[in-house]
A = this chain, B = another copy of it.
Amino acid sequence: MENNQTEISELGEFGLIDRLTKDFPLKNPETKKGVGDDAAILSFGDKDVLVTTDLLLEGIHFDVRYVPLKHLGYKAAIVNFSDIYAMNGTPKQITVSIGVSSRFTVEHLDAIYSGIKLACEIYGVDLVGGDTSASATGLVISITCIGVAAPEDVVRRDGAKPTDIICVSGDLGAAFMGLQLLERENVVAAGQKNFQPDFAGKEYILERQLKPEARKDIIEMLRKEGIKPTSMMDVSDGLSSELLHICKDSDTGCRVYEDKIPIDYQTALMAEEFNMNLVTAAMNGGEDYELLFTVPLTDHEKIEKLKGVTMIGYITKPELGCAMVTRDGAEIPIKAQGWNAFNAQS
């Protein structure tokens, strides 16, 4: 390292983003919200246009040795749709840029695009552009998704208020355990010809890792029930990390109850097999693509009736900080231990 140079890992991903983007004042009235939410909010005419983008790099975000290319394409699209739903918007268009090294063939790309196509069909999204290029090294996938919402419908991260109920859709930690399983089997398989891993009884956690869905259904259900969250984001980096984002941006604290965190039994069994702490996996695993949101206390009864939504805690004043309440009533501060692509390289 040269003199006066700072390792990127010293800042971490969010610190780095803050540093790189802080000197970019917004200049256009068409820009309502720039960096700092699941998607940017642009204003054109009477609509809010939402824009989000994700960069997926081979060897960092995925391993083609155990991720089928069709699934990779599907997931690459889904994670972007999820960001648009997390703003209470509807994804409409995507652009797909792909860089491929010479070990990939046209048929490999066909497989990736067949997954993207399936995702676009299911979620009603149009592919409208992109870029293709050779890559000197690995596979690169960069997707940008454009969504739309009525301005009054958009839900940001900064609207949570003390006494609001914290809700999460589905269950957490499964995608993380699926990844652990895939990595273990890949290690086991190394060098063994025709190795057939035994995935029986583990289908759910594998599917959560390899073929996640975006929670369009939850957004539709909330709308139907007349519930507008006060804040919302999707759980991509892990529940802990996302809770801290919402509380920081909303200037609040929070309490979540350990025994309320929704966890599937396959996730629990797998954690036991790996001798891992189950709650840690659920709080910090990431890649769940569930929706984390807050609603006013007055929506309690409405939420209680909703299938697939769990109330896990409540928002507090900022001075109370963010903590998890354990089964025995102790309070443990919540720290971001979410997945960090900059630590992954070391």
Interface residues of A, Cβ cutoff 8 Å to B: 1-2, 4-8, 10-11, 13, 16-17, 19-21, 23-24, 26-28, 30-31, 33-35, 39-40, 42, 44-47, 49, 51-55, 57-61, 92-93, 95, 97-102, 104-110, 113, 117, 120, 124-138, 140, 142, 144, 146, 148, 341-342, 344-346
A54 → B minimal CB distance (Å): 6
Pairwise interchain contact A136-B57, C-beta atoms closer than 8 A: yes
Distance in angstroms between the alpha carbons of A82 and B12 in the assembled complex: 33
* Chain B residues, CB < 8 A from A108: 5
- Of A10, A124, A127, chain B has the most CB atoms within 10 Å of the CB of A127
Say which residue of B5, B46, B57 sits within 8 Å of A99 (CB atoms): B57
| 26 pairs, A vs B, C-beta closer than 8 Å | A2-B105, A5-B106, A7-B102, A13-B133, A16-B132, A26-B128, A27-B124, A28-B126, A31-B126, A31-B128, A33-B128, A34-B126, A35-B130, A42-B93, A42-B146, A44-B44, A51-B95, A51-B144, A54-B97, A57-B140, A60-B135, A61-B133, A101-B345, A134-B341, A134-B342, A136-B138
Main secondary structure of the interface of A (DSSP, over half): mixed
* Chain B residues, CB < 8 A from A19: 106, 110
* Chain B residues, CB < 8 A from A117: 23-24
Pairwise interchain contact B97-A8, C-beta atoms closer than 8 A: no
Q: Which residue of B lies closest to A48 (CB)?
A: B44
Pairwise interchain contact A40-B93, C-beta atoms closer than 8 A: yes
Pairwise interchain contact A45-B47, C-beta atoms closer than 8 A: yes
Pairwise interchain contact B54-A345, C-beta atoms closer than 8 A: no
Say which residue of B1, B8, B44, B97 sits within 8 Å of A134 (CB atoms): B8
Top 9 nearest A-B pairs (CB, nearest first) are A45-B45, A59-B136, A40-B128, A142-B142, A137-B137, A55-B97, A6-B106, A134-B345, A5-B105
* Chain B residues, CB < 8 A from A107: 4-6
